[in-house]
Structure 1
Amino acid sequence: MNKLRLFGFALLTLGITWGAHADEKRYISDDLITYIHSGPGNQFRIVGALNSGDEVTLKSVNSATNYGQIVDAKGRDAWIPLDQLSTSPSLRTQVPDLQQQVKTLTDKLSNIDNSWNQRTAEMQQKVASSDSIINGLKKENQDLKNQLIVAQKKVSAVNVQLDDKQRTIILQWFMYGGGVAGIGLILGLLLPHLVPRRKKKDRWMS
């Protein structure tokens, strides 16, 4: 009986394909619990169990029994059916990762939204400040224009007053000149009559 067992074990061992899947990462499928055996078949002793999503290292494959030799995280060297291994993590382990990714993306979007709102508020504040400055400059410019118009009117009024004064002075000079000329003419006419003439007899007698 022992010889038959040894012969069967030898046949099973011959069916092992070494190196074809050396040290490849595998994951326990979505079954809740998977039992691992001491050899490449379910007739071998159960040496433990693995949970869905546990990571193992595939050392070799027995193509005759479709079992794979694995090493788990605890360092146990055992055998497990290949159909209970997956090349990608199970949904049980992916869901928390996906949830974390969703949370991370949500936080990033929230930060982007907050940053965008802050930048928009800053831009609006800058635009409002610019509008205030522009309005202030426009008002100042209008005030300067009004002051210029008032100054021009004052200058025009002063020029009119100067013109009137100049005309008045010119007329006064004409009047003074005319008066002096008139007095001179009158004196010229009156002086010959005012100075006594010498008689011719006096001149003869001398």
Structure 2
Amino acid sequence: MKKVLLAALLSGLSTFASAESAHIADDVYVFMNSGPSNQYRINGRVTSGEAVQILDRRDDYIQIKTEGGRVGWVPEAFVASGVSDLIHLPELESELAASKKRIDAQQQKITVLEQAAQTRTQESQESRARVVELEKEIAALKTQISNMDQSNLIRWLTHGGLVALGGVLLGLLVPYLPKRRKPRNDWF
């Protein structure tokens, strides 16, 4: 009998010695029972995310110990191993706030850059319109210069023709002009 009691005591101590760290699932409130089924009396409630130690497992129930020292049984489906995500919630909230600030700052930069891009686009369009206008003006000036060259050529040809005509007429008329006699000078 002493051996059985000693074996039971050692197995109970080994259960407490090998307590596994866990937590109640983050999305439930669980009632603890005094035994490994819902047929046992409810002896408390465990809130979601609360850290617990797993003491024993039977069927689909786990014996847990809360941080407050309460011991009870809960369905295995409501216990998750490791640390609760709720512990990280304040850290995650501060990271979220910092991320929102970064997003707001980036959104402001994006707005400034979009405005600058619109300004550059508008300037580019105005420049293109000015280039087209200047190209038309250059084409008009080239046409005008070409016309002036032709006009000058025609004018020079006309003047030259008139001078030649005048020379021919003068050449034809000179023989018919009365000749003046040269005075005779006999002194020699």
Matched, 1:82 2:74: yes
Q: Which amino acid aligns with 1:87?
A: A
Cα 1:145/1:161, change in 2 over 3 Å: same
Equivalent in the alignment of 1:25: 22
Q: Gaps (5+ residues) in structure 1?
A: 1-6, 37-41, 188-206
User: Within 1, Cα distance between the matches of 2:116 and 2:137?
Assistant: 31
2:15–2:56: 8 Å Cα contact kept in structure 1? yes
Q: CA deviation at 1:83?
A: 2.7
* 1:84-139 per-position Cα deviation (integer Å, ceiling 9, x unaligned): 85117889x59x78x959x77x949x758766665554443333222111100000
State, as a whole percentage, how many aligned pairs show the same letter.
10
Matched, 1:169 2:163: yes
Matched, 1:137 2:131: yes
Equivalent in the alignment of 1:61: 56
Q: Identify the match of residue 128 of structure 1 among 119, 122, 138.
A: 122
Q: CA deviation at 1:25?
A: 2.0
In the superposition, the TM-score normalised over structure 1's length comes to 0.50
Number of aligned residue pairs: give it.
159
Q: CA deviation at 1:18?
A: 4.1
Q: RMSD of aligned C-alpha atoms? A: 5.1
Q: CA deviation at 1:175?
A: 2.8
DSSP-derived class of the 1:171 partner:
helix
2:30–2:74: 8 Å Cα contact kept in structure 1? no
Q: Which amino acid aligns with 1:26?
A: H
User: Within 2, Cα distance between the matches of 1:13 and 1:68?
Assistant: 17
In the superposition, the TM-score normalised over structure 2's length comes to 0.53
DSSP-derived class of the 2:29 partner:
coil
Cα 1:28/1:164, change in 2 over 3 Å: closer
Matched, 1:178 2:178: no
User: Within 2, Cα distance between the matches of 1:145 and 1:67?
Assistant: 93
For the pair shown, the structure with the greater C-alpha radius of gyration is 1
- Higher mean displacement: 159-168 or 171-180: 171-180
* 1:60-97 per-position Cα deviation (integer Å, ceiling 9, x unaligned): 31549x5535473xxx6663313385117889x59x78
